[in-house]
Amino acid sequence: MSLSSSESTAVLDEVANVSTDESGSAAIEAEVNDVEVIIPTSASDPISLTFATGSAFAVDLPAGEQSADASALEPGVVAFDAGTFTTIPVVKDDGSVQIATVLDGPESPTAYEYGITIAGGGSLSLTDEGVVLVTGADGKLTGAVAPAWALDADGRNVPTRYEVQGDTLVQIVDHTEGSFSYPIVADPWMGGNLFDRMNTGSWNSQPRYSLFRSTWGAVVSGYATATPIFLSAGWSEAVSRWPVLTSKETLHQQYDCHAFYAILKPDSWNLEKARSNNSGWGSTIASHWCNW
């Protein structure tokens, strides 16, 4: 089973160049953008993602017990053949994982179940925008799943949606309700790392820290839930990966300001240590726009 970019709406863009094989217990075991990613060889074992913050979750593949073992397609991409459909996990270079599901024909199922186990316990919730939030037992965000999509072989949208049933994410693909061309590609795209990297420069003779969002983080930024996600999970991630951001309170304040007012800013969030601490920055936003 192959997966072309025309079928996948960029599923095969920005794939991590990681060692991929069909032997041992893991087809892929790699650290990508500070995320430990494990794709199993057996479809009955879960995919797991562990983040720099220490949070982690595991994802069961649909029809895992009935699927063949992993077949390596290319670095970062493996396939599990379940007969009437194929599950193709794709590891992205920002540490996210896109699990493409290729439906072969009308006999393919309409429901695909992904059991999600959160380290330490937690819950799943579905927002009005179709984003699935993976929340730990401490109430902090562990990760998220982008809204569902499905396309047929001619590029037409196929009706699809997510349902959350306890600790299971179910993708419904209503491919039998219309005249569609096969194969149909659908997916959950999940991740946790909101940032790709931090660069250090200078401003007023002191460090300037520039945070760049990952591709996954840029996707999350487009939804209404983005600001609270970046205020909580985003800051936790940033200080776990780059502890220097805790060296002065103004850096946290500037970060929060960007999360509120520059969530759609396409380039970096610049945090400048030379700026004074300003606990009341929110009341004077019109005069400084995060540069007080």
pLDDT in tens, 87-140: 999 999 999 999 999 999 999 999 999 999 999 999 999 999 999 999 999 888
Provide mean pLDDT across the span 35-56: 95
Provide mean pLDDT across the span 140-167: 94
The confidence score (pLDDT) of residue 200 equals 98
pLDDT at 6 over 50: no
Q: Which of 100, 102, 82, 79 is nearest to 20 (CA)?
A: 79
Same domain? 176 vs 254: no
Domain C-terminal end among 151, 168, 191: 191
Q: Which of 192, 199, 107 is nearest to 145 (CA)?
A: 192
Provide mean pLDDT across the span 154-158: 94
Same domain? 163 vs 242: no
The confidence score (pLDDT) of residue 147 equals 93
pLDDT at 4 over 60: no
The radius of gyration of the chain's CA atoms, rounded to the nearest angstrom, is 20
Give the number of domains in the chain: 2
Same domain? 183 vs 256: no
Provide mean pLDDT across the span 62-89: 93
Same domain? 279 vs 153: no
Provide mean pLDDT across the span 201-221: 94
Same domain? 129 vs 46: yes
The confidence score (pLDDT) of residue 144 equals 92
Same domain? 130 vs 207: no
Provide mean pLDDT across the span 223-239: 93
Same domain? 223 vs 105: no
Same domain? 75 vs 161: yes
pLDDT at 42 over 80: yes
pLDDT at 8 over 70: no
Same domain? 174 vs 232: no
* CA–CA distance, 200 with 239 (Å, rounded to integer): 14
* CA–CA distance, 77 with 92 (Å, rounded to integer): 9
The confidence score (pLDDT) of residue 3 equals 52
Residue 235 buriedness (CB in 10 A; 0-12 / 13-18 / 19+) = middle
Same domain? 56 vs 84: yes
Provide mean pLDDT across the span 76-83: 96
Same domain? 10 vs 77: yes
Residue range(s) defining the domain that contains residue 92: 5-191
pLDDT at 70 over 50: yes
